[in-house]
Amino acid sequence: MTLTYQEKLLSKTIQFVKEQLEEAESGHDWWHIHRVHTTAVSMAQHINANKLVVELGALLHDIADSKFHDGNEELGPAIVRSFLLREHLDEETINEVVFIIENMAFKRSFHFDGAKSIEFKIVQDADRLDAIGAIGIARAFSYGGYKGRPFFDPEVLPETHNDGEHYKASKAPTINHFYEKLLLLKDQMNTEEGKKRALVRHEYMLGFLKQFDDEWKGIL
């Protein structure tokens, strides 16, 4: 069987991403990329979009995440552009993929004003879905542990963040992250398919928080 250019490009991209993310902590590793890729592909079956752009955007969206590179938000897009140029992808498609990478971070969504492409909407929905539900819970505690944060402290109340810098600088317990970010995500989904999936995961988190609270109070 001979592989098409696109199939070869996708398998090279997977290889490249695995190498780049080798050092990532567990909430943010290859398997996160794998889940976002799978979810984005599955969502794209219900939506008219450029599948190659969706797949490349999903696979490359967390390359050189700025929070692991002193807040440098230029690095990811630059790495992606040079990788795709090396693979001789056409410039228009490269620009569409790089657009996704540039605009993916939650931090940016505080001041996002450009038009979103449908491919961007799908990848962003898939990434947000991976932050909620059962996997979202696992990732939050994994990230909190990595940052050395307590998982709960009843004396530290959740805060609302209206700017990206403040959100990234938070040292709050992990349970607060649900109220500060994770429970807000279902209302930020771009696509109908994303909204539907987010609702199921959202309900699951509410059940978890209720159970956590009852156990904390010692009433269950």
What is the size of the binding site for Ni ion (CB under 5 A)? 2
Distance in Å, CB of 27 to ligand ADP, minimum: 4
d(Cα 49, Cα 8) in Å, to the nearest integer?
Answer: 20
33 binds ligand ADP (CB under 6 A): no
Distance of alpha carbon 193 from the chain centroid: 17
Contacts 24+ apart (CB under 8 A), 105-108: 105/65, 105/66, 105/73, 106/164, 106/167, 106/181, 107/66, 107/164, 107/165, 107/167, 107/168, 108/73, 108/164
131 binds ligand ADP (CB under 6 A): yes
139 binds ligand ADP (CB under 6 A): yes
96 binds Ni ion (CB under 5 A): no
d(Cα 62, Cα 148) in Å, to the nearest integer?
Answer: 22
Contacts 24+ apart (CB under 8 A), 146-149: 146/25, 146/26, 146/27, 147/171, 149/173, 149/174
Rama region for 185: left / alpha / beta (φ>0; ψ in -120 to 50; rest): alpha
Residue among 55, 62, 119, 125 that touches Ni ion (CB under 5 A): 62
What is the size of the binding site for ligand ADP (CB under 6 A)? 17
Which of the ranges 11-19, 78-86, 132-140, 189-197 carries the binding residues for ligand ADP, by CB under 6 A? 132-140
Q: Residue 177 touches which of Ni ion, ligand ADP, none (CB < 5 to 8 A by kind)? A: ligand ADP
Question: Binding string to ligand ADP for residues 111 to 130, with x set by CB under 6 A, is what?
Answer: ----------------x---
Question: Binding string to Ni ion for residues 101 to 130, with x set by CB under 5 A, is what?
Answer: --------------------------x---
Residues near ligand ADP (CB under 6 A) are: 27-28, 32, 62, 65, 106, 127, 131, 136, 139-140, 143-144, 170, 174, 177, 182
